[in-house]
Amino acid sequence: MHGWIILDKPLGLGSTQAVAAVKRNLRSAGFGKVKVGHGGTLDPLATGVLPIALGEATKLCGRMLDASKTYDFTISFGTETSGLDAEGQVVATSYHRPTMKELAAVLPNFTGQIEQIPPTYSAIKIDGKRAYDRARAGEVIEMKSRAVTVHDISVGHAERVSTAVTGVPESFIQRDDLLNTVTLTADVSKGTYIRSLARDIAHALGTVGHVSMLRRTRAGPFALESAISLDKLNAFGQGAAQEDIILPIEAGLVDIPALDLSPEQARAVQQGRVLTGIAMKDGLHWARGADLRPLALVQNIDGILKTVRGFNLIL
């Protein structure tokens, strides 16, 4: 059992719980003990694409963690919370609401390489302990700024301020160009915290805000189109067909080129030997033999081909 299950993770389910659900359903479907891992944590308050690797595909989890990801997220202006999400304690408020014109003016400042301070409630380790564990214990934590990359950010839906917004002065409500919430789409590098991005955008607009909706629509080569619901996963565990549930291991390699090897070259790669003299571009490739099954991840640098990670796929 080697390949991928791409789960459309529902709200409230943690990544570890999602992996446990996959293991449970695999056992129920008669597959016995299968090595399972996920390709990037997704918070319980977030939904969307969670790649779960099976068998030899778990060797690609590190690569999946390094992949860029795309998120839809909603910023609710006016309140900032301790966790920068909908469940945190309110730590700051503001009557100010931005306009779409102001938003459009600041967004270019949040593309390319930027510096951001991760949320206090995050899984980053500080002196061996998770930041969120220290925060919950009442410790005052100073999170260090780090560089991340926002490849692209764009505006989706926006909700205007209306009389339904409580606590906002009448002078604000009378304007029809102020935003109460805005939903953005961002394509980001590994290590980017969307909650921090939302906080910093709100601050740049002269107000505060928090993430009230977060949905991952892509992780590396996997998009929502290939994701299945938890209900469909559970149906598989109860005897439903395997079709469209488990994707082949090479589904996680479609974003890099394949390299076809002769039988002799294939044996060399499987044995971890260095190859030379193959006409190919520098960079990462996945090697395959005559039967087209993945043999290894290989790296070509200046005509020298080395095995990065081998796959032990028994047919």
The residues annotated as belonging to the active site are 43
Catalogue the long-range contacts made by 98-106 (C-beta closer than 8 Å, 24 or more residues apart): 98/178, 98/179, 98/205, 98/206, 98/207, 99/177, 99/178, 99/179, 100/155, 100/158, 100/177, 100/179, 100/182, 101/177, 102/205, 103/155, 103/179, 103/182, 103/201, 103/205, 104/155, 106/201, 106/204, 106/205
Matching residue, tokens 């002269």: 206
169-202 burial string, b = 16+ CB within 10 Å, else e? eeeebeeeebbbbbbbebbbeeebbbbbbbbbbb
How open is the CA angle 113-117-118, to the nearest 5 degrees?
A: 105
d(CA 224, CA 8): 7
Question: CA 26, 30, 33, 37: dihedral to nearest 10 degrees?
Answer: -20
Query: What distance separates the 2 farthest-apart alpha carbons in the chain?
Result: 78
